[in-house]
């Protein structure tokens, strides 16, 4: 799970060493820019350029004595290490040569910049292409017309903007057929704590018969996708699952949003490499009475 972060750290460390060597050789910032654009890491440099262009914090400046300050790579490395590994701020001192208070500031500025620059691309509402992909995945799970599932927490309904359109009666319109009946409204899988809305398909609390038991098991297993997604997010960014008393609420909000954006960047870059093994799953009626019992099925393999 940490391969992505390790690879990123190695690339950053290599770039940092090369930058130091170039400074010793007396090369200019323009030379660095040309080298970055011609290298294989052009995409990474492009993201760094976006941060540098957003404000002056992620630029290398000279102090009053003419000495170069911290480079953007040093600041980004310190921030990413704290986000990905959840290390203490002073743990970046030996590796990146950044003090504790500066490392904390780097995290706050880094997350603020990431959210401001990339939120329109990676925190946007699903477009038509996204909805079609979600519908395809839902159909492969055995739920045509499903575009997602909900966390087992009623507070999500009150706080998440995902359901603003649903409350306004503007859920995505789709066309699908189930048991000969035509439907034109997408839906989410939910548990019994959610209200009885037409956009929520809930499990059966006391399933009777093999068909009802199979439906309850499949619905409950697919509904766990959102919890698995949060599990992957927490595994990639350890800072999310650790105590957060040292951060105020405003910074915590930026950290959470920045981690989601970075996660979506990774998913966008690696989506085609994911192994999807549920296409040929054959479900058999269960002889076990409980709807929450174990059930063998294949799931998506994530890095």
Q: Mark whether 6 and 107 lie in a shared domain.
A: yes
3 state DSSP class of 97: coil
Q: Identify whether residues 283 and 201 lie together within a single domain.
A: no
Domain endpoint, select from 210, 225, 242: 242
Domain end, chosen from 210, 226, 242, is at: 242
38 pLDDT exceeds 60? Answer: no
CA angle 201/135/294 to nearest 5° reads 55
- More confident: 115 or 36: 115
pLDDT band at 237 (very low <50, low <70, confident <90, very high): very high
What mean pLDDT comes out for the span 255-263? 93
Tens digits of per-residue pLDDT, 138-162? Answer: 888 888 888 888 776 777 777 777 7
What pLDDT sits at residue 7? 59
- 4 pLDDT tier (thresholds 50, 70, 90): low
| 105 in the same domain as 1 | yes
Average pLDDT value for the chain: 75
CB atoms within 10 A of CB 217: 23
pLDDT over 50 at 265, yes or no: yes
Concatenated DSSP letters for 22-80?
HHHHT--HHHHHHHHHHSTTHHHHHHHHHHHHH-STTS--B-TTS-B---HHHHHHHHH
CA distance 297 to 282: 8
The residue that leads in pLDDT, 261 or 166, is: 261
- Cβ-contact 180, 167 below 8 angstroms: no
Given a cut of 60, whether residue 204 has pLDDT beyond it is yes
- How many CA atoms are closer than 13 Å to the CA of 301, on its beta-carbon side? 7
Q: What is the pLDDT of residue 111?
A: 93
Residues 109 and 2 in one domain: yes
pLDDT value of residue 254: 93
Say whether both 85 and 4 belong to one domain. yes
Detail the DSSP E strand segments found in 127-252: 146-149, 173-178, 181-185, 187-190, 200-202
Tokens of 22: 């170039």
Is residue 174's pLDDT more than 60? yes
Of the candidates 291, 253, 227, 290, which has an alpha carbon nearest to the alpha carbon of residue 108? 253
Answer yes or no: is pLDDT of 171 > 70. Answer: no
Question: For residue 173, what pLDDT is reported?
Answer: 75
Q: At what angle do helices 249-270 and 100-122 cross, to 10 degrees?
A: 60
Q: What pLDDT sits at residue 24? A: 45
24 lies in which domain range? Answer: 1-122+243-303
Tell me what percent of the residues of the chain surpass a pLDDT of 90.
Answer: 14
Q: Are residues 110 and 7 in the same domain?
A: yes
For 48-60, write each residue's pLDDT tens digit: 577 778 888 888 8
Q: Are residues 85 and 225 in the same domain?
A: no
276, pLDDT greater than 70: no
Domain shared by 81 and 217, yes or no: no
For the chain, the domain total comes to 2
CA distance 279 to 137: 10
The torsion of the CA quartet 162, 164, 167, 170, rounded to 10 degrees, works out to -90
């Amino acid at each position: 799970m940490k391969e992505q972060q390790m690879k990123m750290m190695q690339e950053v460390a290599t770039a940092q060493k090369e930058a130091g060597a170039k400074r010793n050789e007396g090369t200019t910032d323009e030379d660095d820019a040309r080298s970055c654009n011609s290298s294989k890491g052009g995409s990474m440099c492009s993201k760094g350029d976006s941060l540098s262009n957003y404000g002056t914090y992620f630029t290398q400046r000279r102090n009053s004595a003419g000495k170069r300050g911290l480079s953007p790579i040093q600041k980004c490395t310190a921030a990413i290490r704290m986000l990905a590994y959840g290390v203490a701020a002073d743990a970046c001192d030996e590796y990146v040569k950044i003090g504790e208070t500066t490392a904390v500031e780097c995290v706050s500025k880094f997350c603020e910049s990431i959210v401001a620059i990339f939120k329109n691309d990676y925190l946007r509402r699903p477009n038509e292409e996204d909805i079609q992909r979600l519908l395809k995945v839902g159909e492969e799970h055995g739920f045509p017309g499903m575009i997602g599932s909900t966390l087992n927490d009623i507070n999500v309904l009150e706080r998440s903007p995902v359901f603003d359109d649903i409350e306004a009666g503007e859920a995505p319109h789709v066309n699908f057929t189930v048991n000969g009946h035509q439907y034109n409204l997408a839906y989410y899988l939910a548990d019994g704590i959610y209200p009885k809305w037409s956009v929520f398909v809930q499990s059966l609390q006391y399933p009777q018969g093999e068909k009802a038991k199979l439906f309850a098991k499949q619905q409950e297993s697919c509904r766990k996708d959102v919890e698995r997604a949060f599990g992957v997010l927490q595994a990639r960014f350890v800072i999310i699952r650790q105590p957060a008393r040292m951060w105020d609420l405003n910074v915590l909000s930026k950290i959470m949003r920045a981690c989601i954006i970075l996660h979506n960047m990774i998913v966008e870059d690696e989506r085609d490499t994911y192994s999807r093994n549920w296409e040929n799953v054959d479900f058999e009626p269960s002889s076990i009475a409980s709807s929450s019992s174990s059930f063998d099925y294949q799931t998506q393999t994530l890095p």
